[in-house]
Structure 1
Amino acid sequence: MTPIQAAVIPLILSCKDVAAEAVTGSGKTLAFVVPMLEMLLKKQKNQELRKDFIYAVVISPTRELATQISKVIELFLEEKELSNFTLALFVGGRSIDIDAQNVMKGAQIIVCTPGRFEDLLSERKNLNIAAKLKDLEFLVLDEADRLLDLGFRNTLTAILEYLPRQRRTGLFSATQTKELQDLVRAGLRNPVVVSVKEKASLNTPILLENYYVVVEPEDKFLFLLNFIRNRKMVKGLFFLPTCASVDYWADMLPGFLPDKEIFALHGKMKQKRTVILEKFRQAENTILLCTDLLARGLDIPEVEWVLQWEPPTSPAALVHRVGRTARGGASGYSLLPLLPMEDAYISFIRANQKVELKDWKCSKDHIKISEKLREKVQSILHNLQKKDRAVFEKGQRAFVSHMRAYSKHECNILLQFKELPLGKIASSYGLLKLPLMPEIKQEHKEQFMGPKEVIDFNSIPYKDKQKEAIRLQKLEEYKKTGIWPSKKKKKKAQTQPWQQNKVDKEERKKKKQKRREMKMNAGNKKGKKRKTITQEELDEIVADAALLKKLKKRKITEEQFDEAFDINDQ
């Protein structure tokens, strides 16, 4: 029994609400599964449990983690004395009608994601799940802080309204946040707060060794490629900043690592995620490229190395990322490459998250990257993009999405976007050209190491023959008219940096709010004569009416109408 299990299980069995914090990989799942089943056994001895009632609910932030928890419970239900209990898994990615049918059949234990459970509670009123929950014994919020990070606060509030107050509740997480403390006060009655750390000065498992290495921006991919080639890892996780980055490197890496099986997984893969994760579990000598979707709860004991492209957007996410290895008492390693201007992150993460990063000093990985090697690797990256326009476009999207994510970093005082050498980073991606971005300055263009030959980008074909035929047809029309044909009206080109756009957006919101307040104040001043409408107000009313008329005649889309009124900003 691990420390968190020894601390939490007796408390839950003595009818206490618990808010538990423990380092990742410390056995939190069993800390709530074991007492949950014990409670149901005890209740079963005192009274016969109804097949159509729900007695335990486990809510998890992602379908991958929910599926994993469900499998752990299934192993217990194979025991004879527990075989009478029924279990159902409710997650997204499949028809809600299937889950509705499972509810009708009866499920005494439910493992679910919050969105799907709320849908079943509120939108499927004919199921009357609220009535089936009136004898609920135990509610578990696993990775509770992640539930809040993903914006499920309102969803959780709605779910809690359906649940009886006379219940046991457990919140489990590897990190504590202010939002989580608010949830504890709202969802638990006189909770016992349990914080178990394996080592007082660290926030990660004892057998986990975390390393960093400082590399030049243009050489980051080369270093990581060389690092992977020098490791005989059975399984490795490679965290990338965005979904588009995962898609791009999933196309690129297999050509450089023919002896390894490369998998890719991110949140936009709705139907494929479960299948891909299962294939990764079964494979050997493999690497899974992923986003922070898999930073929580994923339990694959064979994962030896966790690699990262750059620091995660949230400092707490680093703890969860590296916690995918060194689980259950096994040893594990992680590596974080940093750019020269990011070295302050080392002391920051030590103070902020109690994660000690050691300098990676392995001579065989600190080889000097020659100009010849750099040119050879870039040539391969360029050729792969020239053969398929889809890959070329993926590279452009990957870089832009990466830069957008970096500009929104929570540690933006240390990791400043304006200091990034964008041209050198684009060179590390092996791009054929710099994307059209207002942030790209002349100095970045001078840094960029693109192909030496002149490329006609219109001549790059799609490998997909159907897509290529459509593209060629559009290209012919473009040559005749000078306008690229498209069903969707293109948005107005961005002419200023993202940060300035954000400032302008806030200003528009303030102006709208001020106008609303003025109108409300005018309405509240009863008995007073309303002041004369100004010409500016009159012009605004006329413009608003014209927009509404265009919307009714379908001359503009609802998105354009919303944007004009800043409805999305409310």
Structure 2
Amino acid sequence: MVAKVAAPEKDASTEQQAQDKLRSLLPKEVLEVFDKNFKEFAKVQWGDYYYGNKGKKKSWALELVHSANQVIPSFNELFDEETFYVFAFCLVVFCIVLAIFLARCVGVKIKEHDIHAGLKLLAHEDVVVESPTGSGKTLAFLLPALTIMKRKPKWEGNEIGLLVICPSRDLALQIAQVAQPFADALGYSLHATIGGKKIETDLKKIHAGVNILIATPGRLERLIDGDIREGKLKRMLRCIEIFIVDEADKFTEVSFAASMSTIIPCLPKQRRTGLFSATQAKDKLDLAPFTLRTPAHIKLADQKDVISPSSLSAFYSIVKADEKLCALVEFIRNVPDKKILVFFASCQCVQYFNMILPRILSKRKIFAVHGKNKKGRFTQMSAFRKAEGAVMLSTDLMSRGIDIHDLDWVVHFDIPKKSSWFVHRCGRAGRNGREGSSVLIATPGQAAYVNFIKQHEKMEMKEMKLKTVTELKAEQLREKVVGLASKSREILEHGTSAYVSWLKASTTNDASIVCKFKELDIIGHAHAFGLLRLPKCKETYERDVSTFKRSGIDTSTIQYENKSLEEKRKEIRAKNEKRKDIYKEKEANDPRAQLKKKIKEKREGKNKKNKGENKIKKTERDEKENGEEEKKVEIGEKRKMKGDKKEKTKKRKIDSIEVE
């Protein structure tokens, strides 16, 4: 059974009571670190009024009301029983008018947050929290978890009290950065274990002593399997007091199911579990692997069935397929001072456009993050956070949990694999009360996806028209990309691989029922990619590719920009030519090969003769059929002529009889 706990109404008094209650339960050390390191977050999240989502400062309206309450005397001092009710009625009307004015004209709002999730965790209850993206879920589970750990007088080095599981490395490191100052203040040892390092080094650090462990599921599974001999990690996991799963809906997928099936049996049954995400699974069976005990389902949102933050504005723009890259370039140029995050369908697409866009948009700083650059993506992320007006190209790796300060725009160049990921993508902007926007660049074949998102993900989207996008600009941009590919073999090869990966992604997403692959203009997309040649694959064989604009460039003559790669390519080509010559010589000297050639030639000759005979027979048959048809027509005409003559004679006889 799942106990559903609805979020309370947005009343300042109830909100303040919940805040005071939670702050009274938190230790002093945690409150000091929170007030010191998260002042800006506290101003927005902890129930304060703020001015128009921009200033992040207390509104002058609140200060005016507080000062007026202190100066104005009580009602008992001013009014008697007769005049009190008249004044009270007038005061209520005035307050309603003032509230409407402040809400619509001035823009005073109150921010809801995850205080109630923390109270449920502190009350020894399992929770399933569904909250809008950017609403402060990390602190919502860290503060009560640390409070629960603080109740124990002392934690030994071989005891893990808090385990946080998250789906990606970047999210694990981000949670570790937030939790580190709290752990230092309380004297707890913290370790974040992610892939990319040796298992032995991680096991040594864990065996040395860890109280808070933040890990990805695959890495933790390998650590458990690698520690079979000593078994110390399993003994440490048996001491866990609280188990947190961030982005919990992601763990219902098959790729994470095997890892979670090995991790959860190692945890104690008497623990508190918290599942946090912006979109939770609706089926009860999806919560079964986490072994929850009558969890409280907490849903925090501004409106019913709305999981995107109210400070986020969503748009869509429908352009032709061959104008899609031009639309992206023009959009980036139209917002020169904004920080933009662009999502693509695959790693190959990110690699390809990371080679093209810096040469087209030379004035903008462009960064790239995808699953294949595991070592360099952390430096790219830190540089993007520090840069102003930069552009980040990414896959869905950054769609969950990653917090980027002052991110203005999220651009969906491609549709995600799952429609629920669309909300997580948009949630990178408009976090913690900041204003943000997102735009989907769709083609006419993907227009139905907008209504699909509105109905299934409960997200409102408005149309945006990119007036600066024209056919002439798109053609000029295509010629420029073709020119870049004709000078660099790296761009040529990455372009073909990116296009093939886009074709596969378009056939495997869950919106293929709405956006049918047969209705997509794959030739227009090939023009948008700036391809010199159309790759041969299953998707292109089934379509008419006659409209593809072929370039007259011989692709075999295009060289690599990297000299070492070019030398290797020349060596491989020389070896292949030698092999062909050797094979021809063997065929010329080998009697068996000569016999095979003769047999093939005879077969080909027979086939040609048979084809010629068949053609002759067909022509003869056609001539006979045509002759028979002509004869039938002649016979029919003769019959008609005879019938006409008979009718004429009959009429003459009838006329003669009438005359007589």
TM range (shorter): 0.7 to 0.9
C-alpha deviation, 1:424, in angstroms? 1.1
Please tell me whether residue 381 in structure 1 is matched to residue 481 in structure 2: yes
Contact 1:388 1:460 in 2 (8 A): yes
Matched, 1:199 2:312: no
Aligned residues: 473
Give yes or no for the alignment of 1:57 onto 2:146: no
Aligned match of 1:369 in 443, 447, 470? 470
Aligned to 1:254: 358
Displacement of 1:310 in angstroms is 2.4
Question: Helix, strand or coil for the counterpart of 2:205?
Answer: helix
Give 2:574's aligned residue: 476
User: How much does 1:481 deviate?
Assistant: 3.6
Q: What is the CA-CA distance between 1:441 and the residue it aligns to?
A: 5.1
* Structure 1 residue 341 displacement after superposition: 2.1
Alpha-carbon distance between aligned partners in 2 of 1:405 and 1:376, rounded to the nearest angstrom: 27
Structure 1 match to 2:490 = 390
Residue 348 of structure 1 deviates from its aligned partner by 1.4
Say whether residues 1:346 and 2:346 are aligned partners.
no
**2: CA distance between counterparts of 1:439 and 1:118?**
38
Does 2:171 align with 1:70?
no
Partners in 1 of 2:283 and 2:373 — Cα distance? 29
Instruction: Name the amino acid aligned to 1:43.
Output: K
Q: Which residue of 1 aligns with 2:226?
A: 123
Unaligned runs of 5+ in 2: 1-45, 47-110, 584-660
Match of 2:425 among 309, 318, 321: 321
Matched, 1:456 2:554: yes
Given candidates 516, 520, 534, the residue that maps to 1:416 is 516
Query: For 2:209 and 2:231, how far apart are their aligned partners in 1?
Result: 11
Q: Is the 8 A contact 1:103 1:127 kept in 2?
A: no
The answer to whether the 8 Å contact 2:322/2:525 transfers is: yes
Distance 1:336 1:260, change over 3 A: same
Q: Classify 1:334/1:112 alpha carbon distance in 2 versus 1 (closer, same or farther; 3 Å).
A: same
The residue number in structure 1 matching 2:18 is: none
Deviation at 1:178, TM superposition (A): 4.9
Does residue 86 of the first structure (1) align with residue 189 of the second (2)? yes
Residues 114 and 180 of structure 1: CA distance in aligned 2, closer, same or farther (over 3 Å) = farther
Kept in 2, the 8 Å contact 1:250–1:263? The answer is: yes
**1:200 maps to amino acid:** K
Alpha-carbon distance between aligned partners in 1 of 2:439 and 2:191, rounded to the nearest angstrom: 38
Matched position secondary structure for 1:170: strand
Per the TM alignment, residue 100 of structure 1 is displaced from its structure 2 partner at its CA by 1.0
Does residue 1:112 correspond to 2:215, yes or no? Answer: yes
Residue 536 of structure 2: aligned partner: 436
Identical counterparts, % of pairs: 34
Structure with larger Rg: 2
Q: Tell me what 1:101 maps to.
A: 204
For the residues of structure 1 that align with 2:162 and 2:582, how far apart are their CA atoms?
Answer: 56
Q: Secondary structure at the match of 1:298?
A: coil
TM-score normalised over the length of structure 1: 0.80
Amino acid at match of 1:473: E
Which SS does the other structure have where 2:424 is aligned?
helix
Distance 1:378 1:301, change over 3 A: same
Q: How many Å apart are 1:150 and its aligned residue?
A: 6.4
For residues 340 and 165 of structure 2, what CA distance do their matches in structure 1 show? 28
Distance 1:176 1:409 in 2: 20
Residue 405 (structure 1) shift: 0.6
- Letter of the 2:226 partner, please give it: E
Show the counterpart of 1:312.
416
The aligned runs of 1:542-561 (5 Å cut-off) are none
Counterparts of 1:211 and 1:382, CA distance in 2 = 31
Name structure 1 gaps, 5 residues minimum. 486-570
| Equivalent residues in 2 for 1:157-168, closer than 5 Å | 157-168=261-272
The 5 Å alignment of 1:221-260 reads 221-260=325-364
Check 1:293–1:368 CA distance in 2 against 1; reply closer, same or farther (3 A cut): closer
**AA at the equivalent of 2:494:** K
The separation in 2 between residues aligned to 1:13 and 1:109, in whole angstroms, is 18
> Quick check: 1-10 or 411-420, which moved more?
1-10
Deviation at 1:98, TM superposition (A): 1.9
Q: What residue in structure 1 maps to residue 149 of structure 2? A: 40
Question: Closer, same or farther in 2 for the Cα pair 1:482/1:377, shift >3 Å?
Answer: farther
Query: How far apart, in 2, do the equivalents of 1:9 and 1:151 lie?
Result: 30
Residues 418, 510 of structure 2: 8 Å contact kept:
yes
Evaluate the alpha carbon distance shift between residue 179 and residue 60 of structure 1 in structure 2; reply closer, same or farther with a 3 A threshold.
farther
CA distance 1:423–1:35, change in 2 (3 Å): same
The equivalences for 1:139-178 within 5 A come to 139-149=243-253, 151-178=255-282
Which is richer in helix?
A: 2
Contact map agreement 1:430 1:450 (CA 8 A) in 2: no
The 8 Å contact of residues 199 and 226 in structure 2, kept in 1 or not, is answered as no
- Specify whether residues 368 and 299 from structure 1 end up closer, same or farther in structure 2 by C-alpha distance, changes over 3 A only: closer
- Assess, with a 3 A threshold, how the Cα gap between structure 1 residues 210 and 181 changes in structure 2: closer, same or farther: farther
Distance 2:226 2:553 in 1: 54
Secondary structure of the residue aligned to 2:225 is helix
Closer, same or farther in 2 for the Cα pair 1:86/1:266, shift >3 Å? Answer: same
Given that 1:247 and 1:394 are in contact with CA atoms closer than 8 Å, whether structure 2 keeps it comes out as: yes
Distance 1:254 1:181 in 2: 47
Over the aligned positions, Cα root-mean-square deviation in angstroms equals 1.9
How far apart are residue 122 of structure 1 and its match?
A: 2.2
Q: How far apart are 1:351 and its partner, in Å?
A: 0.9
Once residues 183 and 314 of structure 2 are traced to their aligned partners in structure 1, the CA distance between those partners, rounded to angstroms, is 37
Hey, what's the Cα distance between the residues in 2 that align with 1:469 and 1:180?
A: 59
Determine which of 30, 55, 77 is the counterpart of 2:139: 30
Does the aligned pair in 1 maintain the 2:264–2:290 contact within 8 Å?
no
CA distance in 2, matches of 1:260, 1:5: 37
Kindly provide the CA deviation profile for residues 487-512 of structure 1, in whole angstroms up to 9, marking residues without a partner as x: xxxxxxxxxxxxxxxxxxxxxxxxxx
Distance 1:195 1:456, change over 3 A: same
Deviations 1:3-43 (A, max 9, x none): 44221011000100111111111111111000011111112
User: Any conservation in 2 of the 1:221–1:428 contact (CA below 8 Å)?
Assistant: yes
Q: Which one-letter code corresponds to 2:571 in the other structure?
A: Q
Shift of 1:445: 2.5
Q: Secondary structure at the match of 1:449?
A: coil
When residues 393 and 23 of structure 1 are mapped into structure 2, their CA distance, relative to the original with a 3 A threshold, is same
Kept in 1, the 8 Å contact 2:368–2:377? The answer is no
Which AA in structure 2 matches 1:57? L
Determine the C-alpha separation between the residues in 2 that align with 1:214 and 1:36.
Answer: 46
Alignment-derived partner of residue 391 in structure 2: 287
Judged with a 3 Å threshold, the aligned counterparts in structure 2 of structure 1 residues 322 and 95 are, in CA distance, closer, same or farther, namely same
Aligned to 1:544: none
Tell me how far apart the structure 2 counterparts of residues 300 and 441 of structure 1 sit (CA, whole Å).
42
Query: Quick check: 1:148–1:179 contact (8 Å CA) kept in 2?
Result: no
Alpha-carbon distance between aligned partners in 2 of 1:481 and 1:51, rounded to the nearest angstrom: 64
Amino acid in the other structure paired with 1:397: S
Cα contact 1:121–1:128 (8 A) shared by 2? no
Pair 1:432–1:392, CA change in 2 (3 A): same
Deviation at 1:476, TM superposition (A): 2.2
**Any idea what SS the aligned residue of 2:367 has?**
strand
